[in-house]
Amino acid sequence: MLAALGFATIAVILLLTMTQRASVLVALILLPVLAALIGGFAGDLGELILGGLSKVAPTGIMIAFAVLYFSLMVDAGLFDPLVRGLLRVARGDPLRITVATAVLTLCVALDGDGASTFLITVSALLPVYKRLGMNPLVLSGVVCLGAGVMNMIPWGGPTVRAMAALKLDSSEVFNPVLPAMGFGIVWVLVASYLLGRRERNRLGALSPRGPAADVRGDEWDDREPAASTTVTTAAAAESSGRATTTTADGHERQPLRSPADGPGTVRIPPLPRTWLSIFNLLLTVALVVCLIQEVLPLPVLFVLGFAIAVLVNHPTWEQQQALLDKHAKSVVLVTTMIFAAGVLTGILSGTKMLDEMAEALVSVVPDSFGSHLPVAVAVTSMPLSLLFTPDAYYFGVLPVLAETANGFGTDPAEVARAAVLGQMTTGFPLSPLTASTFILVGMSGVSLGEHQRFIFRWAFATTLVMTAGALVTGAFSL
């Protein structure tokens, strides 16, 4: 009963969101609540939801301040050199931009944290995609592919869980699938080439443009072109008590700082742009290093990082309020999705629906299929990311599958290797059960359903390519 209810709940959520019959926020909250009521858990509903929310609260806090931090850095022009460099190398060619997206994602994802990978790559590359008029689904899709493969690294969540669940070490789980991971990386580059070529055909090869030329404000985050001249707007200074500058095409720049208000007040210009850019770069590098080294919990690092950054870049109260007003929508969209996902996982876990789903899944495996279990696990691992949280799969489903395989003379380590080829690796950036998915789609400005429809077959193909690579290299047998 509970297993059927759990499968039905997730199936309806996926159906409604992928067909855009309901918003993801509404589906993630109301459908699990309805399932809990049907299952007879009305009396425990508050405790179940609160338990789920408390688990995702640190992630929600981290994302809120991370979005603010990277939005501030984008406004400040931290990523402008990267954008200009990519545009210069790409020469206005969407294909080159798409392949560069894959390469950058593969490098950034080495830290093993999907959330930080999405925050950094999307913040850096979204202005480029807007500048060239490229489809943001290409951005979210290629980042999804690159981050999915790299999530197999030993310090990533899925591989760690597989090793812990079966009491294995990295040499038994990760090392044998390293060649298969190489196959996956090659496929990601091939897929990004194919997606880029399709995007090039859609847009046509664009002629190279200078980074400061012909940029509309809504396409370039309302920042001024680097080469434009600036003039002081006297009317704005008189009305607001602060001097402001505007670009030649009328876009407003950062107001000048003032220690006091009123006529005749001496105006203090902002920090020189070069020194401010250097400070922002050093702060961001320090933040990323601290994230990788886990000097402090991730939410704490982003809270402190944003506080320091906003104090230096926007020292007055008015500027800070303007920044918060500008990016409030992005923060709300992403964080509400994360807390909604907490409602779903809290109910599914607290009611033991996930446990029942795991047992039901294992029970349908026929005995005659036991010797081929690693291949079956590998092929189904990616789609099952849409049904099971990583903990539910690796600590609930995987041990039973490994024990079943062991009964047929198959090494349990082979089942673990097969699982990490897709379960919450290539599948995690598409799953509604992981909070980082909503960071990716939220910051890219696409809906979850659009993202899933666009990239699912490419992500599934990644798992199939790595499965073939694992068979060829002997990571597990057919």
Angle of helix 45-76 relative to helix 435-444, nearest 10 degrees? 40
Quote the pLDDT of residue 271.
Answer: 52
Whether 353 and 39 have beta carbons less than 8 Å apart is answered as yes
Quote the pLDDT of residue 414.
Answer: 92
Confidence of residue 137 (pLDDT cuts 50, 70, 90): very high
Q: In 3D, which of 371, 379, 368, 358 has the Cα closest to residue 411?
A: 371
Q: Return the DSSP state at 397.
A: I
Confidence of residue 393 (pLDDT cuts 50, 70, 90): confident
Q: Is 413 exposed, middle or buried (0-12, 13-18, 19+ CB in 10 A)?
A: buried
Scored b (16 or more CB within 10 A) or e, 418-446 reads bbbbbbbbbbbbbbbbbbbbbbbbbbbbb
Whether 20 and 38 have beta carbons less than 8 Å apart is answered as no
Query: Which residues pair with residue 257 across a beta bridge?
Result: 268
Q: Return the DSSP state at 252.
A: B
Residue 181 pLDDT more than 90? Answer: yes
Average pLDDT (164-180) is 85
**E strands along 175-309, which residues?**
230-233, 244-247
- How many Cα atoms are found within 13 Å in the side-chain-facing hemisphere of 314? 21
Residue 74 pLDDT more than 80? Answer: no
Residues 6+ apart with CB under 8 A from 140: 122, 440, 441, 444, 446, 451, 454, 455
Average pLDDT (5-32) is 82
Quote the pLDDT of residue 90.
Answer: 74
Angle of helix 114-132 relative to helix 273-293, nearest 10 degrees? 140
Higher pLDDT, 135 or 217: 135
Q: If DSSP codes are grouped into helix, strand and coil, which group holds residue 249?
A: coil
Higher pLDDT, 175 or 92: 175
Helix (H) or strand (E) holding 15: helix 2-18
Q: What is the tens place of the pLDDT at every residue in 325-376?
A: 888 887 887 788 778 888 887 888 888 887 787 777 777 777 667 668 899 9
Whether 238 and 262 have beta carbons less than 8 Å apart is answered as no
Query: Which residues pair with residue 252 across a beta bridge?
Result: 246
Residue 272 pLDDT more than 60? Answer: no
Quote the pLDDT of residue 10.
Answer: 80
Average pLDDT (268-290) is 78
Quote the pLDDT of residue 287.
Answer: 87
Residue 91 pLDDT more than 80? Answer: no
Residues 6+ apart with CB under 8 A from 162: 168, 173, 394, 398, 416, 419, 420
| R_g of the chain computed on alpha carbons | 24
How far is 33 from 205, CA to CA, in rounded Å?
Answer: 49
Higher pLDDT, 99 or 236: 99
Quote the pLDDT of residue 136.
Answer: 95
Instruction: Enter the pTM of the model.
Output: 0.67
Confidence of residue 236 (pLDDT cuts 50, 70, 90): very low
Encoding tokens for residue 116? 């930080």
Q: What is the tens place of the pLDDT at every residue in 421-478?
A: 999 899 999 988 887 888 899 889 898 889 999 999 999 999 999 999 999 999 888 7
Angle of helix 412-419 relative to helix 373-381, nearest 10 degrees? 20
CA dihedral over 118, 121, 127, 130, signed as positive or negative: negative
Q: Is 114 exposed, middle or buried (0-12, 13-18, 19+ CB in 10 A)?
A: buried
How far is 59 from 65, CA to CA, in rounded Å?
Answer: 10
Quote the pLDDT of residue 462.
Answer: 96
How far is 27 from 19, CA to CA, in rounded Å?
Answer: 12
Average pLDDT (158-167) is 82
Average pLDDT (94-113) is 86
Mean pLDDT of the chain: 79
Mean pLDDT check: name the lowest of 18-27, 82-91, 218-227.
Answer: 218-227
Residue 223 pLDDT more than 70? Answer: no
Q: What is the tens place of the pLDDT at every residue in 296-332?
A: 887 888 899 999 999 999 989 988 899 888 888 878 8
Whether 32 and 9 have beta carbons less than 8 Å apart is answered as yes
Residue 113 pLDDT more than 90? Answer: no
Quote the pLDDT of residue 355.
Answer: 77
Quote the pLDDT of residue 356.
Answer: 81
Confidence of residue 63 (pLDDT cuts 50, 70, 90): confident
Average pLDDT (378-384) is 92
Quote the pLDDT of residue 148.
Answer: 93
Whether 181 and 149 have beta carbons less than 8 Å apart is answered as yes
Whether 165 and 398 have beta carbons less than 8 Å apart is answered as yes
Query: Which long-range contacts does 248-257 make (Cβ < 8 Å, 24+ apart)?
Result: 249/217, 249/225, 251/217, 251/222, 251/223, 251/224, 253/224, 254/314, 254/319, 255/316, 255/318, 255/319, 257/315, 257/316
Q: Which amino acid appears at position 236 of this protein?
A: A
Quote the pLDDT of residue 248.
Answer: 36
Residue 239 pLDDT more than 50? Answer: no
Phi (first) and psi of residue 257, to 5 degrees: -80, 145
